[in-house]
Amino acid sequence: MLLHKVLSKDLIKGDLVYYEKGDKFAVDAVILATSYDDGSCFVDTAELDGETNLKRRTGPFELNSFKTVEHIKTLKGEIQSELPNQNLISFEGRLVLSDDVKLNSPESHHVIPLNINNLLLRGAVLRNTEYCWGLVLYTGKNTKIMKNLKKASLKISSLDNKLNRYTLYAFIYNLFLLISSVLLELKTYYSIKDEYNNELWYLGQPQDSFSTQLKSDILSYFAVYTYVIPISLFVSIEVSKLCQGLFMHWDKKMTFHRPLPDGTTLKQCMRPNNTNINEDLGMVEYIFSDKTGTLTQNQMVLSKFFINGLEFHEMKQLGSLKEALNSGKTVDGIPIDDLTMEYSILFLRVLSLAHDVLPTLDNNGGYVYESSSPDETALLNSAAHNGFILSNKVKIYTEIRTTFKYANNNQLLGADVGNAIKLQDFNEERFEQLFLLEFNSDRKRMSVIVKNPNGKIHLYSKGADNIMLSRLSKDEKLNPPSLLKEADKALTKFSEEGLRTLVLAWRELTEEEFLEFKVEFEEAERSLDGREEKIATVAAKVEIELRFLGCTAIEDKLQDEVPETIDYLLKCGIKIWLLTGDKQETAINIGLSSKLLSNSMNIHILKGSSFDEVYHNLNIIENSMKNTEANDIQHALVVQGETLGIIFDVNFKSEERIKFLNIGKNCKSVICCRVTPLQKASVVHLVKKNVKCITLAIGDGANDVSMIQSANIGVGIMGREGTQAVRASDYAFAEFRFLRRLVCVHGRFSYMRISSIIMFGFYKNCAMITVMWWFGFYSQWSGTLVFEEIFMSAFNIVYVSLPPLVMAIFDRDVNEDKILRYPQLYIEVSKSKAFWNLWTVLSWLLSALYHSAAIFWCVYLVNIDGNISETGRTTGYWAQTAFLGTPVLTTVLLKFCLTTKTFNYLHALSLIFSMALNSISIVILEYFGYSEIGNGIIVDVSVTYYLICILMPVVCCLPDFIVISFKRIFLPHDADVMREESRLDSQ
């Protein structure tokens, strides 16, 4: 059998595949063998779970020697596995080999258990491993990453929907004008027809056919009244959104200079991928955020140790424990006794052995630790700084290099630690690894069973404090109560500081205890049904009677200004849900350090592995929240991924799902742990569909793509986890802190500007066309234009094109620093709908109707008996078009001046351009014969014309000015107050 390349679409279940370092897996496959003797390999799963750290995967021990084509082709058997699903953190199956397959040893079983650590998942990349063999398990749409993908939907802003609705209303108003005009014209038609031969002969012969007259009327008025619908408004909105997007891209305060390994920096500007939804940024009510790489730098550092009543501050001094052991005293001068030394040796031994990390050498000869958990990397780095260096690890043994001097051979703890440390620069010690009991969200601990060089069997364990403390021995000689009391105080202190804590413990196993455990564990591993539960049960039997060693406190470095950003967004009335693949304790600690949670909150934990259990726990949480309503206590909810899987099960009661949503709505913050990409999208969809609000999702990895696409607004972080999230997002930038500026500055301004231009667009068209309707009462509904034809055509696209566009691009009601200082300014917009509400819409409509009526009737009264020109003759129709057109234009522009919040030279230039163009066009139209000769002179020298152009805008806009002034003085918005404060500050 020869190796040859094939397309992934041609692979089927049961095929053997060969991957080399750097290859991306195209299918889900079972590891058979790798270039490492123990069957281990490293994979990069950034596209799956967002984690940048390499993860260790292993093949079955029985197949480690199957490294060549000749060996691989001898494999025969079948795989028994669960049905394809989207679960990325668990898998149950087994490989059943034929009896004639020769395995590594005669004792090897032909029924080999498989779990998630034996799988290579599609989308992952092989790293630090020369090659690996795999057996295809799932292909195409059945792979786990494809099960987690969600089809993207077209995103339309909420104001676009309102714009469409108001366009429909404008069309209805258009129909009213059309139908009323046609009906009134038909009434006039019969009057003229009856009186034609007597008195109205000068109007011309009316149509003989009623149907012909009706068609003529409908077409005439339809052509005129279509100006009610502001077609140019759509173009203006698109241009303004494009310019708003450019402002976001050019915003230097959202630009990040990322340092590169070669010492240079990479300039990362904010990237607006979809400017269609700019205004929705100003109405966000829910934010759904990833954690790793989004809130954090994913760079964890061990901050503190607690050992035998003493605290060691690693952040202040690297290697503080090593230094204390070498000098015999702590930094504070506290002596280190022999018991503390024994504790410390075992403490560091736990850090160095209880993990699944493989060390690699860098170019400088130093050790690099790649782990699926950044916590593990931090712990091992700290152990190395303190003299315990993990130098080699394979599946069956681990080697530790010790580099500090310790000559005490006393065995105060019975651990025989003296043989491990000698008076020299370093010494390497090999521990045979017998079993590794891995961490999961239920166990909340990890243990390793090793055989020491002296032949003794030890169990070293570390895990969450609440779990580990409950598994300690009750023997006061082994675990003195005073020590445990001090440890509890230290754990409380570390947690209040937002640090992530672990408790370390150990015990010695007799040969009989170990053999009994080995038989039960191997039997549980081969089980196909409920394997994880059976393994957990067996592990729990041996992880008892532990002896306390100490605890660690890890700081997961947040990105700059994350706590301040979250605190500000919460004060803006925005609810933040943290959706992370991390374990519960990690997520809660990050919530505390980022100010998403506080110690004063009542934190509810929702868990359950069955429908009935989840129903029961939902009722308990709901009743608990009701009982504390009177105390004004803030609540937070923490949900496990397994529980979310049950909640989103198709058989889960919809009313209970809504109950879960209502509980989340009543909480200030919600944290969902161990969630899959599809569960992230389901949570967003649940809120978006039922709450009917604007949602925003932010993440940095491929595992966040479904969530980003499900939300109304998707934001990608330009991090170290690929570009999938950035490409799928609507907006992208380098750090989480820029979200505050994007939402509360650019989003608020965009919402205000687009709202204003929409209102102004409908207002100006309604004001102009309604004048035409008023004119119908005195033109016998003949369809005669009250304005000059070119004036009507150019009104939107020329005369009144620039002012609203300038307003939609540059207008701002308050300074940026005021918005960033006072979150109430965002609440006023998003919650109170200050820029778009029923009163605002009605006020614009009433203004349009009043302005049209006032302008028409004023001009009508001036010209009712004919206005006298400079020649002594009365003015005619062409002068009347200017008498009506120019006041309409000046009134609309004055209304624009009252509407805009900022006035600069661009606003002034747009106004001058509009007025100058109108005056010039009167002369130009006469020159080219579009109007009566001499009309320009008649208009230019008419005092009445100038009085109307000056007085009518004042008369029309005086009520608007009075209302605006009254509201600013007696009923001011927060923005009005801030604007006044800025004016006083400038003085």
Tens-place pLDDT, residues 350-402: 999 998 887 877 777 778 887 767 788 889 989 988 889 888 887 788 989 88
Query: CA 819, CA 826: separation in Å to the nearest integer?
Result: 7
Secondary structure class of 784 (helix, strand, coil): coil
Query: What is the predicted pLDDT for the residue at 701?
Result: 77
Sequence-separated (6 or more) residues with CB below 8 Å from residue 359: 367, 368, 369, 380, 390, 391, 392, 393
**pLDDT exceeds 90 at position 240:** yes
| Cα atoms in the Cβ-side hemisphere of radius 13 Å centred on 431 | 29
Query: What is the predicted pLDDT for the residue at 212?
Result: 74
For residue 933, how many other CB atoms are within 10 A of its CB? 10
**pLDDT exceeds 50 at position 787:** yes
Query: CA 72, CA 78: separation in Å to the nearest integer?
Result: 14
Query: CA 951, CA 271: separation in Å to the nearest integer?
Result: 48
What is the chain's mean pLDDT, rounded? 85
Is the Cβ–Cβ distance between 435 and 521 less than 8 Å? yes
Query: CA 678, CA 915: separation in Å to the nearest integer?
Result: 57
Q: CA geometry: angle at 267 spanning 265 and 269, to 5°?
A: 160
Query: What is the predicted pLDDT for the residue at 870?
Result: 58
**Cα-to-chain-centroid distance, residue 112:** 41
Active site residues: 290
Secondary structure class of 582 (helix, strand, coil): coil
**pLDDT exceeds 60 at position 204:** no
- Which has the higher per-residue pLDDT, 150 or 112? 112
Query: CA 355, CA 370: separation in Å to the nearest integer?
Result: 11
- What is the arithmetic mean of pLDDT over 870-877? 64
Query: CA 255, CA 245: separation in Å to the nearest integer?
Result: 14
Average the pLDDT over each of 42-56, 788-802, 809-823, 906-920 and give the range with the smallest value. Answer: 42-56
DSSP state of 206: P
In this structure, the dihedral spanned by the alpha carbons of residues 910, 911, 913 and 915, taken in order and rounded to 10 degrees, is 160
DSSP state of 798: I
Query: What is the predicted pLDDT for the residue at 364?
Result: 73
- Name the band, by pLDDT with cuts 50, 70 and 90, for residue 287: very high
Query: What is the predicted pLDDT for the residue at 409?
Result: 42
- Name the band, by pLDDT with cuts 50, 70 and 90, for residue 224: confident
Query: CA 183, CA 136: separation in Å to the nearest integer?
Result: 76
What backbone phi and psi angles, to 5 degrees, belong to 399? -115, 135
Sequence-separated (6 or more) residues with CB below 8 Å from residue 367: 359, 360, 361, 384, 389, 390, 391
Is the Cβ–Cβ distance between 314 and 303 less than 8 Å? yes
DSSP state of 123: T
Is the Cβ–Cβ distance between 366 and 384 less than 8 Å? no
Nearest to 637 by CA among 609, 612, 602: 602
Q: What is the pTM of this model?
A: 0.73
User: Binding site, residues?
Assistant: 290-292, 376, 439, 462, 500, 580-582, 674, 680, 700, 703-704
Average the pLDDT over each of 84-93, 271-280, 931-940 and give the range with the smallest value. Answer: 931-940
For residue 423, how many other CB atoms are within 10 A of its CB? 8
Query: CA 385, CA 154: separation in Å to the nearest integer?
Result: 52
**pLDDT exceeds 80 at position 470:** yes
Average the pLDDT over each of 58-62, 201-205, 474-478 and give the range with the smallest value. Answer: 201-205
**pLDDT exceeds 60 at position 430:** yes
368-to-54, 105, 392, 484, 491 alpha-carbon distances in Å = 11, 33, 11, 34, 29
Nearest to 622 by CA among 606, 642, 640: 606
- What is the arithmetic mean of pLDDT over 128-147? 90
Query: CA 266, CA 354: separation in Å to the nearest integer?
Result: 38
Is the Cβ–Cβ distance between 45 and 57 less than 8 Å? no
Helix (H) or strand (E) holding 957: helix 943-970
Query: What is the predicted pLDDT for the residue at 984?
Result: 81
**Cα-to-chain-centroid distance, residue 413:** 50
Nearest to 895 by CA among 947, 946, 850, 960: 960
Please give the structure tokens belonging to residue 6. Answer: 């094939």
Q: Is the dihedral of CA 963, 968, 969, 972 positive or negative?
A: positive
Average the pLDDT over each of 399-408, 529-538, 614-623, 682-691 and give the range with the smallest value. Answer: 399-408
R_g over Cα of the chain? 38
pLDDT tens digits for 627-675? 877 677 889 999 987 899 899 988 888 898 999 999 999 998 999 987 8
For residue 82, how many other CB atoms are within 10 A of its CB? 11
| Cα atoms in the Cβ-side hemisphere of radius 13 Å centred on 246 | 8
Query: What is the predicted pLDDT for the residue at 414?
Result: 47
User: Binding site for ATP, residues?
Assistant: 290-292, 376, 439, 462, 500, 580-582, 674, 680, 703-704
Sequence-separated (6 or more) residues with CB below 8 Å from residue 500: 300, 375, 553, 554, 555, 556, 585, 586, 589
Query: What is the predicted pLDDT for the residue at 207?
Result: 61
- Which has the higher per-residue pLDDT, 674 or 343? 343
Please give the structure tokens belonging to residue 252. Answer: 């230097």
User: Binding site for Mg(2+), residues?
Assistant: 290, 292, 700, 704
Query: CA 720, CA 147: separation in Å to the nearest integer?
Result: 24
**pLDDT exceeds 50 at position 26:** yes
Average the pLDDT over each of 276-290, 510-524, 712-726 and give the range with the smallest value. Answer: 712-726
- What is the arithmetic mean of pLDDT over 672-693? 89
